[in-house]
Amino acid sequence: MTEFIHNHILTLITFLPLLGGAVVLLIPRDRKDAIRRTALVFTLIPLLLAGMLFAGFNTSSSGFTTEAGIQFVEKHAWIRDFNINYFVGVDGLSIPMILLCALICPLCILASWNIEKGVKGYHFLFLLLETGMMGVFVALDFFLFFIFWEVMLLPMYFLIGIWGGPRKEYAAIKFFIYTLVGSVLMLLVIIYAYLVSTPHTFDLTELARNSSVLGYRAILWWGLFIGFAIKVPLFPFHTWLPDAHVEAPTAISVVLAGILLKMGTYGILRINFSLLPDVTRSMATVMAVIGTINIIYGALCAMAQKDLKKLVAYSSISHMGYVMLGMASFTDEGLNGAVLQMFNHGVVTAMLFLLVGVVYDRAHHREIEGFGGLASVTPNYAFVTFLAFFAALGLPGLNSFISEALVLLGAFKTHTVLAVIAATGVIITAAYCLWTLQRVFLGAVNQKYALLPDLTGREIASLAPLAVLVVVLGVFPHPVLNLMKSTLGSLNALVVAAL
């Protein structure tokens, strides 16, 4: 049994949610709690398995450009005629993302407990979505990667389009089409890469090792980059994000910001960096400039928002800018900082969206100006929100500080001026975070909400793990840093050596 689990752990993590989805479909639609519990169980098992993965992961693994660098590999022929394989494995780049995904999904199920409309469909789609997301992070076959990438898109479309807010159709279609444009660009590159490789292969490790066969490199790079940039989202491809977030139900916003955005930067690291290291290296300044724009522009836009959820959405854009800036520095500090920031931002933004959901459930609106004095009414809620916002503004001692500091340390080495500009972001971020906290929580109690109930047990259960991580990883970041260190070191070396 343990042998079996160990040999197929990635497959189990990826497909157990799908199995859960099938089980959900078998439950009668009016037994809502049974559906919810089933979904919870089928997201908790992957979390458990991810914990085993974490425990069994060899942190000295050097990453996927060498055969030995990948762990927990499963490789089976899938479509033999086209040399398409079911090829999954993890390295230091993907394992933090898998952990993040495995952690956030059960919390999202908890946060979806009060969804009453179409419970069955919702949970089925959610579980399908988790399979898609996990698949993207474990796939090492380009074709398989693409399949999972598309699998993830579809449930997302329906989850926003059916369970969303007033403008859900607009938001869902915008999201869908935008992402699809990216997918098409990626597909073209995939087909091209397949055709020029001899023997024809979709194997990402293989392609990375023989990346010199690829021609039209700059075009390929941009094709992939734009596809992924849409997902991150990088300026100016970001406007789908605020719309999608505002309309999406809480849990879907959490997934969207917590995990989906990371796929963009994950894709750039996994594919642009390894297949086209020379182009990547030459695009350093472009990436750094875009990252800096994201940081400052996103923060300033966030400051002007009146809708709490939109504010958090723009803050995501700002924080993902750090990831980009760190990646563009081509230093150990910057690259590790970037991936750590992906993880940390996932944790913090998940918290923020959950917290927005909490107040929205109670007050049925999200106007920042419409609250006031909530700290007196709901002290526990205020405490957790303060924690999350202070993590977001990069308070030392909390997790985001470490990743942002690493990113800036790296960026100072290679893009000094941009790093200085980006560092001014800490001022703007502090300003909008504190201003928001003040308007929502401080001041005289708004009598309209004088009897607002504080956090429920279920809400605490969904927030507490994240809150603990925010503090623990701020004080002791090693567990996550160690996972990625050697893989990112070799990836960075690959890119640095390419030029």
Partner 1 sequence: MTYFIKSYGFIIVLLPLLGAVVNGFFGKRLRERFGGTASGYIASAMVFLSFLLSTAAFIVVAGSHGAAIVNHAYTWMSLGTLQVEIAFLFDPLSAMMLLIITGIGFLIHVYSTAYMHGDQGISRYFAYLNLFVFSMLILVLAENALLMFVGWEGVGLCSYLLIGFWFQEKQNTTAANKAFIVNRVGDFGFIAGLFLLYWFLAKAAGPSAGTSILSFSYLAEHAHLLKDATIFGASLATVICLALFLGATGKSAQIPLYVWLPDAMAGPTPVSALIHAATMVTAGVYMVGRLNFLFSMSHTAMAVIAVTGAGTALLAATMGCLQNDIKKVLAYSTVSQLGYMFLAMGVGAWSAGLFHVMTHAFFKACLFLGAGSVILGMHHEQDIRKMGGLRKHMPRTFATFALATAAIMGMPPLSGFFSKDEILWQAWSGEHGHPGLWFAGFLTAGITAFYMARLLFLTFFGETRRDAHHNHHDDHGEHAHDRVISESPAAITVPLIILAGFSAAAGLVGVPAALGGSNRIAEFLAPVLGHHGTAGTHDPIEYVLMAASVCAALAGGGLAYLFYLARPDIPVMLAERLGPVHRLVYNKYYIDEIYGALFVTGTKILSRVLALFDRHVIDLLVNVSGLALRTQARIAGWFDQAYVDGAVNLVADSTLSFGEQVRKLQTGRVQVYVLVLVCMVALGIVIRLMTV
Among 5, 218, 286, 427, binds partner 1 (CB under 8 A): 427
Helices 308-329 and 240-247: crossing angle in degrees, nearest 10, is 140
Token pair in block for residue 494 = 């690959």
CB of 27 to partner 1, least distance (A): 39
Identify residues 226-285 at the interface with partner 1 (CB under 8 A).
236, 238-240
Beta carbons within 8 Å of 456's beta carbon, 6+ residues apart: none
Q: How far is the CB of 296 from partner 1 (least distance, A)?
A: 9
Q: Which stretch binds partner 1 (CB under 8 A): 68-76, 353-361, 426-434, 459-467?
A: 426-434
Among 180, 442, 452, 460, binds partner 1 (CB under 8 A): 442
- Interface of this chain with partner 1, residues 465 to 484, rule: CB under 8 A: 475-478, 481
What is residue 259's DSSP assignment?
I
Among 130, 206, 333, 459, binds partner 1 (CB under 8 A): 333
- Residue 424 touching partner 1 (CB under 8 A): yes
The interface with partner 1 within residues 348-387 (CB under 8 A) comprises: 373, 375-376
- Least distance (Å) between residue 385 CB and partner 1: 13
**Contact status: 51 vs partner 1 (CB under 8 A):** no
CB of 489 to partner 1, least distance (A): 8
Contacting residue, 115, 191, 300, 461, with partner 1 by CB under 8 A: 300
Q: Which helix (H) or strand (E) holds 276?
A: none
DSSP per-residue letters across 161-226: HHHS-TTHHHHHHHHHHHHHHHHHHHHHHHHHHHHHSSS---BHHHHHHTGGG--SHHHHHHHHHH
Q: DSSP label at 139? A: B
- Please select the residue that binds partner 1; options are 303, 323, 392, 463, rule is CB under 8 A: 303
CB atoms < 10 A from the CB of 446, how many? 17
Exposure string of 209-218, with b = 16+ CB inside 10 Å and e = fewer, is eebeebeebe
Give residues 140-179 in contact with partner 1 (rule: CB under 8 A): 174, 177-178
3-state SS assignment for residue 442: coil
Piece in contact with partner 1 (CB under 8 A), picked from 117-125, 156-164, 218-226, 403-411? 403-411
Number of alpha carbons in the 13 Å side-chain half-sphere of residue 430? 9
For residues 128 and 120, the answer to whether their CB atoms sit within 8 Å is: no
> Which residues of the shown chain bind partner 1 in the complex (CB under 8 A)?
174, 177-178, 236, 238-240, 297, 300-305, 331-333, 336, 373, 375-376, 390, 395-397, 401-402, 405-406, 408-409, 412-413, 416, 419-420, 423-424, 426-428, 430-432, 434-435, 438, 441-445, 475-478, 481, 485, 489
